Structure 1
């Protein structure tokens, strides 16, 4: 029975093989209809499958590319942030180095004075450093009436001292009066603070003799006759010097040497002018400098009497009480209408 079934299977397979041989030997023209039919059905289906497949592939590739770009952008942004921070630090260090060099240069210009460097930590006004605080105090040797310099010239004077801080009133403050002189001519004058006028970058120069020869551009420095400011410190440059309306004195303006818009570091002269007076008093000599008064009131009384205002030449100090009286009447020693 099993042999008979195997025989039938063999016969069927043999017939199938013969048919396939016959079909394969038939000319291509007989197979074209079948091929066309199969192609008509399969080609659109294949195109659709390819379209979907390529669409999915493109999306996956775009997502991968987008993710890679995002990671690359993130990495680049991190590098940019690091470089920006380093650049800012370098700029700050460069500015700090520049200011330190300026302080060093300023220190070298006044080697005759002992000085302490300090940083500005606060100010009382929004616009300028008319009154500000520094990070050095009594434990660092800071005392009231010590002079403060920065940016190439005189900045102000110490008015209050704590253990680790001090308050400085600048020369642009309305209450500031500094006894000065022209370094080229030795003519004495008063530099008066004026916040409103400083909006134009200037301060006032007053109380010059009628025959004073200070000219525009002359350097103005602190005078020997000051009772609070050490002599020879650059204050600024004269401009617009002319006689007053009564033709009794000359007045003008001063361009400060220091920049009061940006103060970050200063030098404090630890020498105090009053110590020099005490030293001279103890040795039996008269004090060289005179007490401060209000320059406007004293100058006005002198002008009203028609008196000539005496001038103390640079490099010579008055040694008698008569000199003190004449200077007080002329107002040339007046530096502050309020304590400084």
Structure 2
């Protein structure tokens, strides 16, 4: 009888110890889980800060590349319904000296221009928007062309179209840089747009059409530079 009670007591004690051990392990597991979550959150924040730093450094370099123009940085606070940045809103407006038709740049070149301005915001149309047209020229030959926006093509291929290129000497080649033209009514001259991806002769045998690879990634934009001066004259 005594031995039975002793065995029973030993069993109960073992069960209690096992339960306590499980509770201890569960508590340690919860603590480790919280610690892992905290570390993951810190890593995420660190990566976000690093990404932001890289973007801001890119804008600083861009402002140096176009130091012939005065610029101001702005953040994108809203955009249109498309996943791509065809139209968007920035956090600076007339109170910051922003005016309609001011040029907007990012990455390595032209994004678009300001279309309307409020006191503390401005709306921008990018060059891939369906309603966008840009007078441009090939940097090596100074032959002019018209770049037309097209969101469907941009989404499918990452390219934008050009037409009306008069390349009578057939000197324009794939990979040639395309910049804003002196004859543009809105865009300041010499801003990089992209590079010739494809060129084909038109049926009239006088002009060429084709596509350009833009230097701006229109699917990922967070900050931009606004050139705070306007084109004085143009056709």
TM interval, shorter chain, is over 0.9
Matches within 5 A, 1:1-340: 45-199=1-155, 200-211=157-168, 212-273=170-231, 276-277=232-233, 289-290=234-235
Q: CA deviation at 1:59?
A: 1.1
Decide which structure has the larger Cα Rg and report it: 1
Are the counterparts in 2 of residues 210 and 243 from structure 1 also a CA contact under 8 Å? no
Q: TM-score normalized by structure 1?
A: 0.67
Are the counterparts in 1 of residues 143 and 167 from structure 2 also a CA contact under 8 Å? no
C-alpha separation in 2, matches of 1:47 and 1:184: 102
Q: What secondary structure does 2:163 align onto?
A: strand
Are the counterparts in 2 of residues 187 and 213 from structure 1 also a CA contact under 8 Å? no
Q: CA deviation at 1:46?
A: 4.3
Deviations 1:211-235 (A, max 9, x none): 1522111111101111110111010
Q: What secondary structure does 1:173 align onto?
A: coil
Deviations 1:95-128 (A, max 9, x none): 1001001111111100000001000000012311
Structure 1 unmatched ranges of 5 or more: 1-44, 278-288, 291-340
- When you count strand as a share of all residues, which structure comes out higher? 2
Are the counterparts in 1 of residues 127 and 134 from structure 2 also a CA contact under 8 Å? yes
C-alpha separation in 1, matches of 2:193 and 2:146: 11
Q: Which has the higher contact order (CA 8 A, sep 6+)?
A: 2
After TM superposition, the runs of 4+ consecutive aligned structure 1 residues lying more than 4 A away are none
Aligned-residue RMSD, C-alpha: 1.2
Deviations 1:278-328 (A, max 9, x none): xxxxxxxxxxx21xxxxxxxxxxxxxxxxxxxxxxxxxxxxxxxxxxxxxx
Q: What secondary structure does 1:227 align onto?
A: coil
Q: TM-score normalized by structure 2?
A: 0.95
Q: How many residues align?
A: 233
Deviations 1:120-175 (A, max 9, x none): 00001231110100000000010000000011110000000000000000000111
C-alpha separation in 1, matches of 2:202 and 2:8: 96
Q: CA deviation at 1:47?
A: 4.3
Q: What secondary structure does 1:247 align onto?
A: coil
